[in-house]
Amino acid sequence: MSELRRIGVIGAGQMGRGIAHVCALAGLDVTITDSNAEALAQAKGVIEASLSRQVVRGRIHEDDKAAALARIDPAADLAALRDCDMAIEAATEKEEVKREIYGRLVPLLKPEALIATNTSSISITRLAAATDRPGKFIGMHFMNPVPVMTLVELIRGIATDEATFAATRDLALKLGKTPVAAEDFPAFIVNRILLPMINEAVYTLYEGVGTVEAIDTAMKLGANHPMGPLELADFIGLDTCLSVMQVLYEGLADSKYRPCPLLVKYVEAGWLGRKAERGFYDYHGDRPVPTR
């Protein structure tokens, strides 16, 4: 399989922007698309701000920033991805949304193009079956924030061929990431371990064992975590946390993965964390304030 040179990114949210950022910085041409016109319009500016922070910190040069931005092409239509060597889907963590995207994307791609999904929990085998190329379909789960976190989970579906895995692994290395192979079980490796811990922290809050501040302080100082589990949940997005827990609960049929009712309530209220400016903390002021 030839080297991947042109990457399409579907989704201009936090993850999609981060993926476009690292691909462009690694010298790849990137087309980023999103059905949300506002998110797409803001994408390049947000990426520029992120690159500027890297310049200030001495991680890249001003010339690197300018070259990376020149390689990023925002496009409103999926048809702009027709020449891509790989399309990386980074849409919301809902299976029906991803399937709908593949239905529109697949007829536009060249036959040899690979498709990767940045899903954090959904079956790769099942998603691949919604396309015309299960052998060329793979899970490529980046960690958030993408420009900072070095891990990428690579997940084969049952039909993923070895050439697809090898090409995706080479791409991850080109991006400066450390690829780790994971089997196609619900939530893979990181979220299989991380999200139940976050869910248990929410249960600890729900049952009144500790306050938001007490739980986060205890885990930062007692387990040496850089960020408390409730603060981390806000950073990830409480809707994403809930989606992953639902995938674990439904996929493994074990009561230990039951989403905490308090997590469900926060999502129902629209308190989704940092992106909504309110979750387990309120972010409207100069410093986050616990909401419980």
Say if CB 118 and CB 140 are below 8 A apart: yes
Cβ atoms within 10 Å of 94's Cβ, excluding its own: 13
Domain count, the chain: 2
Task: Give a yes or no: residue 201 inside a domain.
Answer: yes
Statement to judge: residues 201 and 277 lie in one domain: yes
Which of 163, 182, 201 corresponds to the end of one domain?
A: 182
Say if CB 153 and CB 141 are below 8 A apart: yes
Statement to judge: residues 148 and 37 lie in one domain: yes
CATH of the domain at 76: 3.40.50.720
Statement to judge: residues 252 and 138 lie in one domain: no
Task: Give a yes or no: residue 177 inside a domain.
Answer: yes
- Summarize pLDDT for 243-280 with one digit per residue, the tens: 999 999 999 999 999 999 999 999 999 999 999 999 99
H-type helices in 130-270, by residue range? 162-174, 190-206, 212-222, 229-236, 238-252, 261-268
Which of 182, 212, 233 corresponds to the end of one domain?
A: 182
Expressed as residue numbers, the domain containing 88 is 6-182
Task: Give a yes or no: residue 187 inside a domain.
Answer: no
- Summarize pLDDT for 16-34 with one digit per residue, the tens: 999 999 999 999 999 999 9
Statement to judge: residues 98 and 18 lie in one domain: yes
- Summarize pLDDT for 121-158 with one digit per residue, the tens: 999 999 999 999 999 999 999 999 999 999 999 999 99
CATH of the domain at 220: 1.10.1040.10
Catalytic residues: 120, 141, 153, 191
Task: Give a yes or no: residue 12 inside a domain.
Answer: yes
Contacts of 82 (CB under 8 A, 6+ apart): 108, 109, 110
Task: Give a yes or no: residue 1 inside a domain.
Answer: no
Enter the tokens of residue 56.
């200030």
Statement to judge: residues 224 and 115 lie in one domain: no
Statement to judge: residues 171 and 199 lie in one domain: no
- Residue 2 — pLDDT band, cuts 50, 70, 90? low
Q: List 137's β-bridge partners, or say none.
A: 115
Statement to judge: residues 84 and 215 lie in one domain: no
Asked whether residue 115 carries a pLDDT value surpassing 90, the answer given is: yes
**Overall size of the chain counted in residues:** 292
Task: Give a yes or no: residue 266 inside a domain.
Answer: yes
Q: Is the pTM of this model over 0.85?
A: yes
- Summarize pLDDT for 171-199 with one digit per residue, the tens: 999 999 999 999 999 999 999 999 999 99
Statement to judge: residues 176 and 203 lie in one domain: no
Strand ranges (E), 103-201: 114-117, 137-142, 151-156, 178-182
Residue type, 120: S
CA nearest neighbour of 34 among 80, 103, 83: 80
Contacts of 210 (CB under 8 A, 6+ apart): 204, 218
CA nearest neighbour of 168 among 106, 121, 124: 124
Statement to judge: residues 73 and 169 lie in one domain: yes
Statement to judge: residues 62 and 143 lie in one domain: yes
Statement to judge: residues 167 and 197 lie in one domain: no
Which of 164, 182, 200 corresponds to the end of one domain?
A: 182
Helix, strand or coil for residue 273? strand
Average pLDDT over residues 98-106: 97
Statement to judge: residues 161 and 201 lie in one domain: no
CA 248, CA 187: separation in Å to the nearest integer?
7
**How far is residue 46 from each of residues 53, 55, 64, 146, 181, measured CA to CA in Å?**
11, 14, 16, 13, 30
Task: Give a yes or no: residue 263 inside a domain.
Answer: yes
Task: Give a yes or no: residue 212 inside a domain.
Answer: yes
Average pLDDT over residues 81-102: 96
Asked whether residue 1 carries a pLDDT value surpassing 60, the answer given is: no
CA 42, CA 59: separation in Å to the nearest integer?
24
